[in-house]
Amino acid sequence: MAFLEALRAEIGAAQVLTGAEAAGFGREWTGHYHWTPLAVARPGSTAEVAAVMRLASAAGVAVVPVGGNTGLNGGTHAEGALMLSLARLNRVRGLNAATRTVVAEAGVVLERLHEVAAEAGLVFPLTFGAKGSAMVGGFLSTNAGGSNVVRHGSARALCLGLEVVLADGRVMDLMTELHKDNTGYDLRDLMIGAEGTLGVITAAVLKLVPAPAGYGTALIGVESLEVALDLLNRVQAGSGGAVEAFEFMPARYMDRLARLKPELACPFPPQPVNILIEIASTRADESPSALLEEILGGALEAGLIGDAVIAGSEAQRRKLWLMRESAAEITFTTPNLVDTDVAFPLDRLETFLHRMTARLAVLDPGAEELVIAHLGDGNIHYTAYPTRDDAGLRDTIRAAVAEEAVALGGSFSAEHGVGLSKRPTMAAHKNPVALEVMRAIKAALDPRGILNPGKTLP
Amino acid sequence: MAFLEALRAEIGAAQVLTGAEAAGFGREWTGHYHWTPLAVARPGSTAEVAAVMRLASAAGVAVVPVGGNTGLNGGTHAEGALMLSLARLNRVRGLNAATRTVVAEAGVVLERLHEVAAEAGLVFPLTFGAKGSAMVGGFLSTNAGGSNVVRHGSARALCLGLEVVLADGRVMDLMTELHKDNTGYDLRDLMIGAEGTLGVITAAVLKLVPAPAGYGTALIGVESLEVALDLLNRVQAGSGGAVEAFEFMPARYMDRLARLKPELACPFPPQPVNILIEIASTRADESPSALLEEILGGALEAGLIGDAVIAGSEAQRRKLWLMRESAAEITFTTPNLVDTDVAFPLDRLETFLHRMTARLAVLDPGAEELVIAHLGDGNIHYTAYPTRDDAGLRDTIRAAVAEEAVALGGSFSAEHGVGLSKRPTMAAHKNPVALEVMRAIKAALDPRGILNPGKTLP
């Protein structure tokens, strides 16, 4: 094929994988999607990414950008398409401690960013379970969230500048490190979360924050979400907004954890609502752990808390976090499940869970459900385990979750994006004018429709 | 004219101003721009805005949306165009204290938002000098900044949802109140800061934050920007990131203030760098004022501070703020000036000011300069007062400021936008591929080019 020959000539034959070499790229780790890519291109620089896109654009070849491939919605599905791996663009181009910014290429792994920041006494606050594999380009293209969004925002809020290769190979340089920059349309945020359908992110300027002088971390058990949200407000008020994470693990999650990872079993009899809470502060004059203990002590006296454990050491803190970070492992025990990612205004979470439990019982009596939530953001990962392997039933459950979410003013995709799996939901629930505008922008920036075709847009 | 007749039929003759009635809309308050609009339409609802746009689109009439008309860059210049006033869309549709959101129409004045939030024990943190006139639609369309950006971000960071009328009258409903919502392209942020060239913002869901239990506010005098930035880091670290404002007023600003508003004269002999600093906290267990005093006390002992005053009452706090909020009044004493709005990484501010002073002395010996800055954001308002009324000289100075800003990795528009006055700067300094992408998006969303034509895009 002339296209692949030209590609080899441009970036080197060793960086164009086909056949068995490419086959390993043809699946999502959940097992939900499998495909056979045309080939996998592994350019080593922005200029080479641009060259790949020029060739693909001229040949009309579909291109699916891929980073750590840790997505959950089929966003890198690439049947017959060229997969464009950003893994070799893995340089940290620089870190400026004075301006608290780091310039990282698309293939830098999230955990490496954490390490690089820590060496400078700083923190890159985005974090989630897949941090050991997820890459900059991927977490920006999906506007990933995770466990620290309640304080630091999603990926979008942590990105100051971008470098993007467009469908035809033009390089758009938006690499500012400024916090204020009103020079024209917000193209940065348009590219973030576009799931590789408008351009290929090759590098970014990311915000860092000062390393806290200390953390206060606790696991607390309460009887209801209402009490938990009251507690969130108390801790926010009492700590001056220092809550970094507020993660909800229901009793069923704790049971599953105890079964599958006994060493991470809940240290007290699981309550209906168990919350991992963490506060952090740069203040050297007081201990966040002591402050958290004091605030929780007040809540205990008020009868709000059933049980609680405060981490007394970094090792104990890590252990509490491992309970939460085991979520994917604990959830994805079978491909025959329905994983969802919905968000709500905080005052409507409980209603959703009640409605969904009732509805699942009708759709598939005997089906189990598992919930884990970034509660501080109103973001629930609701998973259903149907009693039988039935794609139609899975679609019905998925549609029901989206319907209940939208009916309560929620979103059918909080932080995982749309990809392939939520295209029908987009068609059903996204504002039709917004869809028209999205299509107009897609046509304007990628007129041949070669960038991650069939994703995001229904 | 058939168009105006149709317009009167649609929104009522009383709401279509022409001739002398419309003439009052034909100027910017700075006196920099004057124009004669075709007419001024004052629709009273989103549906009426849509009707106006349908008519204008069919007739090919240019439409310039206008709110409080407090802009500084000619963004509402409307020679021969229909001005679309959003002032009658002035309802606060609702406030939800539990989710800390307010839904406000485009014509709601910023100060009214402050009042409405305060009644619910909450704060809408965006604030700047023109708050008594600026409206929601305007501060979103320009992504306005102001004095609390260092903690709460610009307008974009405070907006969760939008309602937008497109060029052809379609209504795009993006009115979510969610903090996490990854359902397709970020059309909200594309519309924010687009200066009315892509759509007309008619309503928004805005974030509120809890009212602080107290403020700590001080005016401090130090010898250099370097010391001031060291102080900013100290107060941020010592307060756990509680700095709400960090505003720079140089000695020359203080002199001007003492001359023009003697009641607001600096309470100590002005130092080279005078900073208004404010911290705030929701914590009831400590006084931000005492905490600030303690941190500043340490800095005083370390010899960093020349002089300082801490506000001991709300009245004293208001007086310190009035010193800062008088900036526009003090700056715009003559239309024959060059006002600019540039931003830098914090470590390059001082270099810019040195270079610019030297450069102005060459361009126009004897010209004065005045600086005021949102220092915590690296955002400087640099104003030059040329010795003669010479439009060419003004353009040369403006171009020099932009050139020096860009050379230091800065932006030529931090928070005021592009409008008319910075179009040549956009042409000279904006990444050319970004300009092409902006043009492609403009053509896709407003193919007839009727929305605020001639603005933002060079």
B285 touches chain A (CB under 8 A): yes
Predicted confidence at residue B145, as pLDDT, reads: 96
**Low-confidence residues of chain A: pLDDT under 50:** none
Q: Quick check: B184 and A240 CB within 8 A? A: no
Provide, as residue numbers in chain B, all residues whose Cβ is less than 8 Å from the Cβ of A239.
Answer: 283
Give the Cβ contact number of residue B275 at 10 Å.
27
Predicted confidence at residue B41, as pLDDT, reads: 98
A427 touches chain B (CB under 8 A): no
B147 touches chain A (CB under 8 A): no
- pLDDT digits over B406-419, tens only? 999 999 999 999 99
Which residue type sits at B380? Answer: I
Mean pLDDT for B423-427 is 95
pLDDT over 70, % of chain B: 100
The string of DSSP letters for A29-84 reads TTSS-B---SEEE--SSHHHHHHHHHHHHHHT--EEEESS---SS-TT--TTSEEE
Helix (H) or strand (E) holding A316: helix A314-325
Helix (H) or strand (E) holding B299: helix B288-301
Predicted confidence at residue B31, as pLDDT, reads: 87
- Average pLDDT over chain B, rounded to whole? 96
Mean pLDDT for B192-205 is 98
Predicted confidence at residue A335, as pLDDT, reads: 84
B96 to chain A nearest CA, in Å? 10
Mean pLDDT for B308-327 is 96
Predicted confidence at residue B169, as pLDDT, reads: 98
CB-nearest to B378 from A179, A241, A379 is A179
Q: Which domains does chain A have, with CATH numbers?
A: 2-85 (3.30.43.10), 92-210 (3.30.465.10), 214-328 (3.30.70.2190), 332-416 (3.30.70.2740)
Task: Examine the pLDDT at B1 and tell me if it is beyond 80.
Answer: no
| Closest-CA residue to A375 (of A257, A258, A253) | A253
Give the Cβ contact number of residue A290 at 10 Å.
12
Predicted confidence at residue B335, as pLDDT, reads: 83
Predicted confidence at residue B162, as pLDDT, reads: 98
Token digits of residue B253: 């600003």
- The β-bridge relationship of strands A122-123 and A63-66 is unpaired
- pLDDT digits over B338-395, tens only? 999 999 999 899 999 999 999 999 999 999 999 999 999 999 999 999 999 999 999 9
For residues B322-358, one letter each, b for 16 or more C-beta atoms within 10 angstroms of the residue's C-beta and e for the rest, the string is ebbbbbbebbbeeebbbbbbbbbbbbbbbebbebbee
**Confidence band (pLDDT; 50, 70, 90) for B8?**
very high
The answer to whether the CB of B148 falls within 8 A of the CB of B126 is: yes
When scoring A53, A100, A437, A446 by the number of chain B Cβ atoms within 10 A, the one with the most, hence best to mutate, is: A437
Chain B residue with CA closest to A342: the answer is B181
Predicted confidence at residue A65, as pLDDT, reads: 98
**Confidence band (pLDDT; 50, 70, 90) for B29?**
confident
* C-alpha–C-alpha distance, residues A249 and A251, integer Å: 7
Give the Cβ contact number of residue A310 at 10 Å.
18
| Secondary structure letter of residue A447 according to DSSP | T
Predicted confidence at residue B154, as pLDDT, reads: 97
Provide, as residue numbers in chain A, all residues whose Cβ is less than 8 Å from the Cβ of B431.
Answer: 172-174
**Confidence band (pLDDT; 50, 70, 90) for B30?**
confident
Chain A residue with CA closest to B406: the answer is A176
A244 touches chain B (CB under 8 A): no
| Secondary structure letter of residue A284 according to DSSP | S
Provide, as residue numbers in chain B, all residues whose Cβ is less than 8 Å from the Cβ of A412.
Answer: 183
Contacts of A119 by beta carbon, 8 Å cutoff, 6+ apart: none
Task: Examine the pLDDT at B442 and tell me if it is beyond 80.
Answer: yes
C-alpha distances (whole Å) from A414 to each of A149, A350, A421, B146 are: 12, 17, 14, 30
For residues A44-66, one letter each, b for 16 or more C-beta atoms within 10 angstroms of the residue's C-beta and e for the rest, the string is bebebbbbbbbbbbebebbbbbb
**Span between the terminal Cα atoms of chain A, in Å:** 31
A240 touches chain B (CB under 8 A): yes
| Closest-CA residue to B53 (of B383, B458, B445) | B445
For chain B, the farthest-separated pair of C-alpha atoms sits apart, in whole angstroms, at 74
C-alpha distances (whole Å) from B35 to each of A307, B31, B40, B81, B338 are: 69, 11, 12, 10, 20
The answer to whether the CB of B299 falls within 8 A of the CB of B236 is: no
C-alpha distances (whole Å) from B133 to each of B21, B111, B129, B322, B402 are: 20, 8, 9, 17, 29
Token digits of residue B97: 């204290």
**Confidence band (pLDDT; 50, 70, 90) for B334?**
confident
B410 touches chain A (CB under 8 A): yes
Chain A residue with CA closest to B456: the answer is A184
* C-alpha–C-alpha distance, residues B26 and B34, integer Å: 6
